[in-house]
Amino acid sequence: MSKALIIDDEQQMRRLLRMVLESRGYEVCDADEGQRGLQEAAFHRPDVVLLDLGLPGMGGIETLKRLREWSDVPVLILSVRNQEAIKVEALENGADDYVTKPFGSAELLARLEVIQRRRAPRQSPEIVTGPLKLDLLHHEARLEEELLKLTPTEFSLLKILTEHAGRVVTQNQITHQVWPSQNSDPAEGLRVHINHLRKKLGTRGVRIVNEPGIGYRLENQDPTA
């Protein structure tokens, strides 16, 4: 049974989340503020954390930073705040995904499932998601066993997105890894490369989704994977 930790100061929201999660078979614990949430995380070792940003005392971002000092547990942010800058800040400080309140229970459960899909440590230099396979040793990418003709930049972009499949990768995270020494804003170049990648991937089981103003996410659409 998976364990979920809810950190939210609204009692009604905690009750609602507990009901939704327990209906899906989760064992649930909760906390109404950040410091207590960190204590619960240390004691219960949850499989996933649902974290509100508007916490009293220690805010949600600070709680996330403190948690990331010692834990890589998947974290789903739940917040009424919909500003792009806040979403980017949360993602860059270690959140795995971000859901704006109010939200549907089906969307919540689906996002929780995605962020909990942890790949086992690789024993070979390969990354696989659905029909897409990246050979890091030879810098080759195959989709449905067909070799994709990628430029070095396109391969680097696809590698980052595949490593974080199902999760949002911010534009800053991408550009800092692909163009670490570039001083100018490469946002337009990034869009061009992403569009080229989309054309080469086509509609064969994976797609690159744009999160406007935030970044990109690679989705596996292969139902058999």
What burial letters (b/e) apply to 35-64, b meaning 16+ CB within 10 Å?
A: ebbbebbeeeebbbbbbbbebeebebbebb
User: Residue type at 181?
Assistant: S
CA distance 176 to 195: 19
Question: Coil, strand, or helix at residue 219?
Answer: strand
Task: Give yes or no for residue 183 having a pLDDT over 70.
Answer: no
Q: Which domain holds residue 92?
A: 3-115
Q: Cβ contacts of residue 108 below 8 Å, gap of 6+?
A: 17, 20, 76, 99
DSSP 23: H
Give me the CATH number covering residue 32: 3.40.50.2300
Mean pLDDT for the chain overall: 89
The amino acid at 79: S
The answer to whether the beta carbons of residues 158 and 200 sit under 8 Å apart is no
Are 130 and 212 members of one domain?
yes
Reported as a single tens digit per residue, the pLDDT across 67-102 is: 998 888 999 999 998 888 999 999 999 999 999 998
The candidate with the shortest Cα–Cα distance to 21, out of 5, 35, 40, 45, is: 5
Amino acid at site 206: V
pLDDT band at residue 120 under the 50/70/90 scheme: very low
Q: Provide the number of structural domains found in the chain.
A: 2
Identify whether residues 106 and 201 lie together within a single domain.
Answer: no
> What size, in residues, is the chain?
225
pLDDT by residue (tens digit) across 133-158?
999 878 899 999 999 999 999 999 99
102, 14: one domain? yes
Q: Does one domain contain both 30 and 100?
A: yes
CATH number at residue 147: 1.10.10.10
State whether 111 and 8 are in the same domain.
Answer: yes
Please check whether residue 120 lies inside any domain of the structure. Answer: no
